[in-house]
Amino acid sequence: MNLILLAPELSLFSTAVLIIFVDLFTRKKGAVAYLAILGIAASAGFAIGLWSRAPQSVFSNMLAVDQFALFFKYVVLAALLLVVLSSVEYRKKIEHGLAEYHALLLVSAVGLMLLSASRELISIYVALELSGISLYVLATFLRDPKSSEAGLKYVLLGSVASAVLLYGMALIFGLAGTTDLRGIANSVRALSATGILSSPPLLIGIVLIAAGFGFKISSFPFQMWVPDVYEGAPTPITGYLSAASKAAGFAVVLRIFYDSFAAPQWLSRDWGMMFAVLAVFTMTMGNLVAIGQTNIKRMMAYSSIAQAGYMIVGIAAASVAQSMASEARSAVAFFLASYTLTNIGAFGAIVAFSNKTGNDLIADYSGMGKRAPLLALALTTCLVSLVGLPPTAGLIAKIYLFNAAVQQGFMWLVIIAVINTVISAYYYLRVVKIMWLGAPVSEEPVPSSVSLRTSLWLACIGVLLLGIVPSILIGLAQTAGKSVS
C-alpha cells in the first residue's frame, strides 16, 4: 500500500501525538499552537500534492483518494487553521489543557477527513466515532455548568444517533451481504421494483442512515442538540462544529446515497424527495426560531440549522438525473466551502466581543461599530454573506446551489428556499443594525490578539474574494463533483 495516499491524515495525527509529548517537556505552553499550525500546513501540502493524481483507493477500497474527498479535506483543514488561530484568544479559558485541546482538534480533523473519503460502512462508522468522541470532549472544555451540560447533551444524543445509524447499516449489510458501497449498489440494482418494495430492511435502512447523519448535519428533526451545545461549547469549537463537522457530514451523505442508492432511478427519486421535505422543514424551522433569539451563539446555532436546510436542497437535486448529479454535488461543495469561511469568520468576531463583554447577548453588541470598527466590519461582512447579498461568497453559493436545483425540477423547493432567505435577513441584519446604529454600552475599545485578527481577516478576504472572483473555487468544486463515479 502506498502510504503517501494517506499522508494528509498521518501527518496530522503525528502532529497531535507530538503535541502531547512536547507538552510534557516544555513550560512554553503556547508552542503547541505553532506545532498545530505546522501540522496543518504539512497536511495541506500533502493533500495539494495528491490533487493531480487519478482517483485511487486504499485498504481494499475502504477509502477513496479522489478529488471529491480531497476537496472536503481542504475545507476541513481551512476550518481547522482558522479555529486554531482564533483559539489563541481563548488561551486563558483553556489553559488547564491547552495541549490536549489542540491534540483533540487535530484528531477530530483526522476523523472528518477520513469520513469524507470513506466508501465502506465500517470505515464510515469508525471515522465518524473518531471525530465524534474528540468533539464531545472539546464541547466540555470550559468546565463550567453550561459547557458540561453541552457536552452531556452532545454525547447522549450523539450516541443515540450513532446507534440509529449503526442499525441502519446493519440492515443494509444484511440485505446486500457486503459493507462496500459499490457492492451494496450492485445488490440493490439486482432487485426488481417489486423486490425493493417488498424489502423492508432496505427501505428502513435508508431511512435510518438518513436519520443518523441527520444528527451530524443538524437537519430537522435531529437538530435538538444544536442550540445548547453551540451556546455551552468554547466559541472557537462552536465555529468548528458549525463548519468542518457539517462539511464532512454532507460529503459522506452525498457519497453514500450516490454510490449505493443511485439506481434504480425511481428509488433515487424517492430518497431525493425525502431530502427535499427535510430541507423545507430544516430551513424553515431554523430561520423562524432564530428570529426570537437574544443570545448570539444561539441565534447562530439556529442559523446553522437553516443553512443546513439550504445544503440539503443540493442533496435532493443530486438524486433526480444522474447525468447531472455532479453539478448538484459541485454546488453543495462550493456552498460548504464558502459557508466554512463565513461562519468561522463570524465566530472569530464573536470570540473577541464575548471576551470583552463577558457574555453573548445580542444587546451588548450595541455600538460595537464605534468601539471596534474593524471587528464590527468583519462580522457585518460575514452576516451579509450568510444572508446571501453581494459582493460576498454567500450570494454566489446560493445562486449556484439554487440553479442546480431548478435544473433538476425542484423549482418549488427553490421558491421556499428564497422565501426563507428573505426571512433570515431580518435576524442577521438586526445584529448589523445594533452594531452600527445602536448606542454604545461602553466607550472601552475591544482588544483582540494578532492571531485572532489574522484568522478573521483571512476568512473575510476569502468571503469577498469568492464573491467577486468565484471561478477558481467553482472549477475545483466541479472537478470534485465529477470525480465521484
Q: pLDDT tens for residues 91-116?
A: 777 767 788 888 999 999 999 999 99
Maximum Cα–Cα distance across the chain: 72
CB count in 10 Å sphere of residue 193: 10
For residue 82, CA distances in Å to 121, 200, 255 come to 31, 45, 26
Q: What is the pLDDT of residue 359?
A: 77
Q: Residue 252: beta bridge partners? A: none
Q: Residue 237 corresponds to which amino acid? A: I
Nearest in space to 465 (alpha carbons), one of 328, 338, 324: 338
Written as nine digits, the cell of 132 is 465524534
d(CA 316, CA 412): 12
DSSP assignment letter at 221: T
pLDDT tens-place values along the chain, 485 residues long: 577 888 999 999 999 999 988 888 877 767 788 899 999 999 999 999 888 888 888 888 888 888 999 999 999 999 999 999 888 877 777 767 788 888 999 999 999 999 998 888 999 999 999 988 888 888 888 877 888 888 888 888 888 888 999 999 999 888 888 888 888 888 888 776 666 666 788 888 888 998 989 888 888 888 888 888 888 888 888 889 888 888 888 999 988 888 888 777 777 788 888 899 999 999 999 999 999 888 898 999 999 999 999 999 988 888 765 556 778 888 899 999 999 999 999 988 888 888 777 778 888 888 888 888 888 899 999 999 999 898 999 999 999 999 988 888 889 999 999 999 999 999 999 999 998 888 887 777 777 788 888 888 899 999 999 999 998 889 988 888 887 75
d(CA 77, CA 247): 11
DSSP assignment letter at 191: S
d(CA 81, CA 87): 10
d(CA 265, CA 142): 49
d(CA 89, CA 77): 20
Buried b or exposed e, range 95-118, using 16+ CB within 10 angstroms? eebbbbbbbbbbbbbbbbbbbbbb
117 in Cβ contact with 65 (< 8 Å): yes
Q: What is the pLDDT of residue 445?
A: 79
Q: What is the pLDDT of residue 272?
A: 84
- Stretch (H or E) spanning 245: none
Residue 227 preceded by cis peptide, ω within 30: no
188 in Cβ contact with 266 (< 8 Å): no
pLDDT tens digits for range 332-365: 999 999 999 999 999 888 888 887 777 788 888 8
Q: What is the pLDDT of residue 197?
A: 66
- In this structure, what are the phi and psi dihedrals at residue 58, rounded to the nearest 5 degrees? -130, 165
d(CA 194, CA 413): 30
d(CA 319, CA 269): 6
For Cα atoms 220, 272, 341, give the angle at the middle one, nearest 5 degrees: 60
d(CA 181, CA 166): 15
Domain ranges of the chain: 3-482
pLDDT tens digits for range 224-236: 888 888 888 888 8
Q: Residue 361: beta bridge partners? A: 295
